[in-house]
Amino acid sequence: MSRFILLNTIVAFLLLGMTLSAAHAIERSEVPANLKWKTSDLYASDDAWHAEHAALGKRVHEIDAYKGRLGESAATFYAALELRSTLDLALTKLYVYASMRSDEDTRDSRAQEMNQLAENLYVDFATAASFMRPEILAVGADKVRGFLAAEPKLAPYKAGLEDLLRYAPHTLSAAEEAIAARAGRLAGAGGNIRGVFANAEMKWPTVKLSDGKEVKLDAAAYTQYRQLPKREDRDLVFRAFFTAHKEWQNTYGAALDAAVQTHLFNRDVHKFDSCLEAALFGDNIPTTVYHQLVKDVNDNLPTLHRYLKLRQRMMGLPDLRYEDLYASVVEEVDLRYTPEQAQALVLEAVAPLGKDYVTVLGDGFRNGWVDWIPTPGKRSGAYSTGVYGVHPYQLQNFTGMYDEVSTVAHESGHSMHTYLADRTQPYPTHDYATFVAEVASTLNENLLLHRMLATTKDPKTRLFLLSTHLEGLRTTMFRQTLFAEFELAIHEKAEKGEALSGRAMTDLYLGLVRKYYGHDAGVCKVDDLYGVEWAYIPHFFRNFYVYQYATSIIASSAIANGIYEDLAKGANKPMPHRDAYLRMLSAGSSKFPIDLLKDAGVDMTTSAPFRAAMAEMNATMDEMERILAAQKKK
């Protein structure tokens, strides 16, 4: 299924400067048409969608006609691949429309039913087409490459076929793969158990804050109240929340161990050297990239510690504790925007990417790419999706806050990545990997920050922007790499045959957190209790996924620095860094992600991109310290 990129955000219901609650948000029927996405660009109506669903229901098994025939001839081989692509595109369009209609109002049972119908039909098609992968591998590399040479129309499929052929050493017989696939259905059990327990059955504590307010501390409330300005409240929230997790650490541990064991099973059955290699194989990412990231971060922990000491100083605290890391270091500034102002600001920010980029995105803003306003029942958060041959779409819940302008920039990066890849690539190579997807989004956030700083003179506002940027670097580069190191460590313990109990995970995680945050050096005190924080993180069930958050922001920082170097040469000068980046966005999956980034001037197998990110982080702290010194003189 085509890309469906999500960014979960906390939605504050403020619309154009007016405070709103979810119960008093305007109805969808009251939202101006120019602030809604145009689902009619996909299907004219729900009735048209249902007609297409019925028609596709009769076609999904057309692929059966090619079972056992893929090695017959180059013409037959091409016909089978072309039919699969045609049906995949049609079903993706069907699914995206249904999911968007459902997200407009999650209370709408008819839209929910459409979503389920689309999902079910896609599963039917995936099942029917599942013979193609093992059969292509059985045809063999020599014959497949012979077909490619004999039939020019197969050219768009070459990259995907070469990628598939890499799996030959890790593919079993058809009968063995069928058994492995059936066993693979159990792979999600650990995550499902953890999800049901955490979301439905865990007894969350209730605390009484210093203002007398009683709060039930589920995961969402913890995220909200850990930021409270009073230290006594933060201490109370942290201790209550993680005491509850500590009580159930063995349950969480058993669930995570179950997930790790499925990764061990896949490693062994498909003949990989490690769980890490198996997880990174799909995108052809060398395991050295993962290890390089962990090493680079560990080598640069003094930069994190510098930020933590700056945070302590700005908060006026005698010492810094783990409970203090989410409280604001500066007073909030009143930055509010209308959707139209947000559009203008984002377009100004991305101007370094060229007139064509700005023109296309501006046209998208004006012509139904974005659904802007929170309404009752609307899905929270933000995401970008798209359908090949149509255009990208964005779901937003825009209430006027600056953070949400940054979210618009972020999702617009995804949307323009989708647009450029779809416009340039044939369908077989139009999609792109997560490893490069978040580069496009975080680069746009970087451009927005620099635009804001270039036009903002007020020291208070600049401190707010700079501190927000630093906190993003802490949580994305350092915190996500901490998670990645923990994930690697528990898999390596399992691969050695060591037990993975909840207590063992807590001890391991505590050691890592204390190392990262300088506990022993007196930088930030981390209480024993917070070793159980791993139990709160659901991403550990996603099989070596989180490291990509860190690599993406590192890569985008390096690319942004190159673009700023281009700009510094003056107007009308060549911009090789920008042009290479735009070619990367346009390349889709025509190359492996690590090679796409190399083409854009970023070699993630080396430390050079990370050094660039550290230089930016230190430069940000340098400027903050200059502002603070100037304020002190006054």
DSSP state of 338: -
Which residue type sits at 555?
A
In DSSP terms, 382 is beta-bridged to 7
Distance CA(594)–CA(603), nearest Å, equals 8
Structure tokens at 402: 């600056």
Counting Cβ atoms within 10 Å, is residue 279 exposed (0-12), middle (13-18) or buried (19+)? buried
Distance CA(486)–CA(494), nearest Å, equals 12
Place of tokens 């995961």: 219
Give the integer Cα–Cα distance in Å for 77 and 64: 13
Residue partners of 122: CB distance under 8 A and separation at least 6: 1, 91, 92, 94, 95
> Active-site residue 201, yes or no?
no
Estimate to the nearest angstrom the gap between the alpha carbon of 86 and the chain centroid. 28
Catalytic residue among 411, 445, 487, 533: 411
Largest CA distance in the chain: 82
H-only helix segments in 316-373: 339-349, 355-366
CA distances (Å), origin 111, targets 54, 101, 117, 363, 383: 16, 6, 10, 28, 19
- The closest of 590, 79, 34 to 366, measured between CA atoms, is 34
Backbone angles phi, psi at 15, to 5 degrees: -120, 115
Residue 561 parent element (H or E): helix 547-568
Query: Cα(463)–Cα(393) distance, rounded to whole angstroms?
Result: 33
At CA 182, angle to CA 180 and CA 187, rounded to 5?
85
Q: Looking at the annotation, which residues are catalytic? A: 411
